Structure 1
Amino acid sequence: MNTSTFENYESEVRSYCRHFPKVFTNAKGAVITDEDGVDYIDFFCGAGAVNYGHNNEYIKQKMVEYLSTDGIIHALDMYTVPKREFIETLEHKIIEPRGFNYKIQFCGPTGTNAVEAAIKLARKNKGRRNVFAFMGCFHGMTLGALSLTSEMYARGGAGASLNDVTHIPAPYMFEGLDVIQYMQTLIDDDHSGVEKPAAVIMETLQAEGGIRPFSDEFLRQVRDFCDKNDILMIVDDIQVGCCRCGSFFSFERAGIEPDMVVMSKSIGGLGMPLAILLLKGELDLWKPGEHNGTFRGNQLSFIAGKASFDWLLENNVEEETRRKGELVKSFIEREILPIDSRLELRGMGLIWGIDFGKINPELSEVVIEKCFENKLICECAGRDGSVLKIMPPLVIEDTLLMKGLNILADAAKEALK
């Protein structure tokens, strides 16, 4: 298989292709095919960008139909039919039935750009620079979002100071630490050296941080902390939203309503580039064009996104995600965890992680390589990359899901001999 073109001419910054050194040509559902015609089961899901499957037939057809009409493709933030239908469907079928009330801001078509918009708007509203973020978080790679991200490898590439963020210990890090009281002390103590923040930003389940779900009670406590102290609560649902955790928004399980919600990846329906910021109306203090981007109006993304809302509701994707998640959990508890008592399993919905850190963090890479040899694609996350992440498309068939899990179990057994 010829990969010399990439190796000779593409930047050294490339990463995933180093783990999966094949040239891929086709994809359907939860299967990716290389140019030799070899099929791979996908437990990677485009890092969460294709929750509804590769080339979902319903979503794809809506895009093809639109393309065949010479519909406008690029429109900046002008009014268009696809944008109107996207907004109306998201508001009337997703947001309002859940009891939420959000306006929609279209950002540049990446999650990190939407995070930039959220923290800029939070600072604009509160007149404060500082933001609280949790250790273990990942919020993006542009400078503002990177200042929130805690991973030192990512931060090391900035080449600039990453300021105006205070990183708070995540609730799983120190046994007995009252994280809420810790944050309260930081803003109350005039010798803490920490400025009161404009916002607290968080993932309700840290994905790149090692598949670390925050408890429902902790999410409610953060909401109460923010209300008490006139601080905005921002939830980053870029990777763990769009039904990944078993409900469209990952925070629904806690019965809370964040002030802002950041979404990208599968909000574009079929892997199309799209990012949005949901915000409470009273926070919408932007002046025209104050945060913009040339590609914030990709009409094909609106078509695909709107189609995905219709499709997920028609096909009970949330319920199916929860059901399949129980299959994954049960299988791993039965077939993989007994291999070694030091293994840990964490997750919910269809995002799970097996932590090899208490044995040897490098084992996760060994397992991933063995999985790929046996035609299963998955990746690692967490401190020292010690967590093997299981994140298939939500539409994966039960038989294919179990086949992939059996490949994973065999790889783990071989690595842990």
Structure 2
Amino acid sequence: MSPHHCPALLISAPASGQGKTSFTAALARLHRRAGRRVRVFKTGPDFLDPMVLACAAGTPVLQLDLWMGGEPEVRARLHAAAAEADLILVEGMMGLFDGVPSAADLAQTLGLPVLAVIDANALAQSFGAIALGLARYRPQLSFAGVAGNRVASTWHTRLLRESLPPDLLWFGALSQSSEGALPERHLGLVAAAELDDLDARINTLADGLAASLGGCLPLPEPVEFAPALLPFVEPWLRCRRIAIARDAAFCFVYAANIELLLQAGAQLIEFSPLAGHALPECDALWLPGGYPELHLQALAARTDLMAQLHAHVQAGKPLLAECGGLLALLTHLQDAAGQGASMAGLIPGAARVGTRLAGLGLQQVDLPEGRLRGHSFHYAEAVIGLAPLAHALDPNGAPTREAIYRVRRLTASFVHFYFPSNPLAACRLFME
């Protein structure tokens, strides 16, 4: 294999909530309109931003994470993308230097130039000071330039541009207009599937960015991506039928997890509990995370499905329940407003979704199937009447240590597993 060269940018910010996803979506859509093939990736654990970015770029959005997936996986995905794309965009997570590993770590490891998006609301010339600090904080980092978000006017834009030193390029701005704004809720952006007008919102963002650039849309300099291959996945799940709940209540699924299950030979069957679908005939079941607390009454009314879940577990068939999937299997679930409903009752216990974070951070856990990595991010406090099979650990020493529960071949926890972190261990969760 030979190296591939492709223009690329890592889009980051001084902090979360600065507008990275909106800007990345707008930039991807503009280049797509120009007839370019755009591949977009997301740094670190995230389900919601990739849904929006996939709509903007018209291609699936995968994770790049130096810890969950490892550097070889990251390099393999970028090398493959560079072979087919005209532009690669990588949206960072949190602030540029936040976390271990950070978006800056990824950019420096791979030689990706950084574009910083800065929320310019209530900023004028101080915009340049923030941009300069980001650019100079780590000298080894390649820093391409800066863009503004929530810019109030043409005059405001001029002040921002003039505050930048000559060696920091201006990459345009998004305005304060609410027409293209991406709505949010407690776990981040509202899921893309719930926004009927998402495409129109992205077009509005792209139009605004194009106007701020004056019709100029240059490509960044090409980056060399070294040859790398993803590890071969054995057909451990050949002919096994895995049912996956997929709807607004169960929507947090890494595209790489689906890819791995298919590579392992599984037959994937999606169904929607909210739409009234019965549990498909299957050998194993996956209830991913999502928002069961927003659909309490609809889920509580599915007593037929609850009975099918009980029968599935009693038959000794595997069931993986992650975060929202765990909440749906408890005896009782209450939302932040205090409204509650009975759930499946496969795991004795109750939970309430609150208004403050209850679990956050990267997680690693040693299971009988092997070591798996993933992350935790939830607002739910749970009291569960089972002894945990194991506890996860945060590699950075943060306090979140999620418990993993097991009943027969049912495995449940607040951890969202990243299957490529250990393909065989992940597949074993779906084996009897």
**TM-score calculated relative to the size of structure 2:** 0.28
Higher Rg of the two aligned structures? 2
Whichever structure has more strand as a proportion of its residues is 2
TM-score (norm 1): 0.29
Q: Which protein, 1 or 2, shows the higher relative CO under an 8 Å CA cutoff with sep ≥ 6? A: 1
| Structure with higher helix content | 1
